[in-house]
């Protein structure tokens, strides 16, 4: 009897987890879900931003109307670019509203959306430059600087094409993605302030 009683006393008693322990255990899973939602929301918003940048590039190719002096649809490109970037960040923050608690998180989501939208815009610009719709004069000027390569069998049109695509990548791809990311981060920080105001 004594041995049995001692063995029962030595057996550890099961204590159910407290509410704090359960919350602490589920916290990493919630953080992963929030991070995945923020990334997915930024990718979806970047796709919409890329479409907006494509429309702006198409507008820049529209020639001015001779019947309407001092007006061209191309004039809408410069004010339209920051509007598209801000809207991209705002849309990303709106899509990830369940995971955003402050302006820092909203700016992070907006930055990711703007960066990828700028990358899409850079790819579109490179394709348009390769097709001869963008930077035609710049490509010819660059090719004229390396005209001595023609003596080695390099075609002048090939040099012009390479120059157009390269500078489209630098200007629209690298520079455009950085500027778009910064403006979209501002747009991403707007939504948390609006939600707090409500």
50, 124 Cβ separation under 8 angstroms:
yes
**Can you tell me the distance from the alpha carbon of 137 to that of 61, in angstroms, rounded to the nearest whole number?**
14
Higher pLDDT, 58 or 198: 58
**Selection from 195, 179, 185 nearest residue 89 by Cα:** 185
For the stretch 3-41, pLDDT in tens is 555 555 555 554 455 544 544 455 567 778 878 888 899
SS3 20: helix
Q: What are phi and psi of 160, to 5 degrees?
A: -65, -40
Query: Is pTM beyond 0.85 here?
Result: no
Mean pLDDT of 47-71: 83
Higher pLDDT, 182 or 72: 182
Position 149 pLDDT exceeds 80: yes
31, exposed or middle or buried, with CB in 10 Å at 0-12, 13-18, 19+?
exposed
For the stretch 166-181, pLDDT in tens is 999 999 999 999 999 9
Higher pLDDT, 34 or 109: 109
Mean pLDDT of 98-107: 86
Q: How many CB atoms lie within 10 A of CB 121?
A: 27
Mean pLDDT of 143-163: 87
**Can you tell me the distance from the alpha carbon of 18 to that of 37, in angstroms, rounded to the nearest whole number?**
29
Q: How many CB atoms lie within 10 A of CB 127?
A: 13
Q: What are phi and psi of 133, to 5 degrees?
A: -95, -20
**Can you tell me the distance from the alpha carbon of 99 to that of 68, in angstroms, rounded to the nearest whole number?**
49
Mean pLDDT of 138-157: 86
155, 177 Cβ separation under 8 angstroms:
no
């Amino acid at each position: 009897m004594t041995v049995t009683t001692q063995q029962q006393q030595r057996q550890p008693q099961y204590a159910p987890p407290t509410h704090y322990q359960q919350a602490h255990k589920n916290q990493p899973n919630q953080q992963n879900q929030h991070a995945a939602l923020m990334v997915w929301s930024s990718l979806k918003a970047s796709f919409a931003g890329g479409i907006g940048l494509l429309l702006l590039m198409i507008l820049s190719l529209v020639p001015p109307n001779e019947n309407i002096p001092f007006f061209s649809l191309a004039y809408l490109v410069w004010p339209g670019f920051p509007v598209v970037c801000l809207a991209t960040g705002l849309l990303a923050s709106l899509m990830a509203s369940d995971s955003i608690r402050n302006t820092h998180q909203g700016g992070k989501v907006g930055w990711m959306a703007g960066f990828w939208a700028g990358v899409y815009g850079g790819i579109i610009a490179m394709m348009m430059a390769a097709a001869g719709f963008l930077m035609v004069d710049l490509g010819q000027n660059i090719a004229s600087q390396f005209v001595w390569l023609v003596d080695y069998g390099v075609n002048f049109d090939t040099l012009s094409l390479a120059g157009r695509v390269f500078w489209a990548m630098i200007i629209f791809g690298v520079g455009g993605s950085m500027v778009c990311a910064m403006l979209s981060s501002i747009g991403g920080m707007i939504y948390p302030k609006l939600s707090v105001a409500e």
